Structure 1
Amino acid sequence: MQAILDVVLLVLNLYTYVIIASAIFSWLYAFNIVNSSNQVIATIGQTLYNLTEPALRPIRRVMPNLGGVDLSPIALLLGIFLIQNIIVRYIYPNVF
Structure 2
Amino acid sequence: MDYVILAVAKVLSIVLNLYMWVVIISALITWVNPDPYNPVVRFLRGVTEPVFAKVRQYLPFLNISGIDLSPIVVILVIQMLDIVLVGNLTRLAYGLGM
Aligned partner of residue 52 in structure 1, secondary structure = helix
Aligned pairs, how many? 88
Q: How far apart are residue 92 of structure 1 and its match?
A: 1.5
Q: RCO greater where, 1 or 2, for CA within 8 Å and sep 6 or more?
A: 2
Q: How far apart are residue 24 of structure 1 and its match?
A: 0.8
> 1:55 corresponds to which residue?
51
Q: Counting strand residues as a fraction of each chain, which structure ranks higher?
A: 2
Q: Name the CA distance, whole Å, in 2 between partners of 1:88 and 1:7.
A: 9
Identical-pair percentage: 31
> 2:42 corresponds to which residue?
46
Decide which of 80, 84, 87 is 2:85's aligned counterpart. 87
Q: What is the TM-score with the length of structure 1 in the denominator?
A: 0.80
Decide which of 72, 75, 83 is 2:73's aligned counterpart. 75
> Structure 2 unaligned runs (5+)?
none
Structure 1 stretches of at least 4 aligned residues deviating more than 6 Å after TM superposition? none
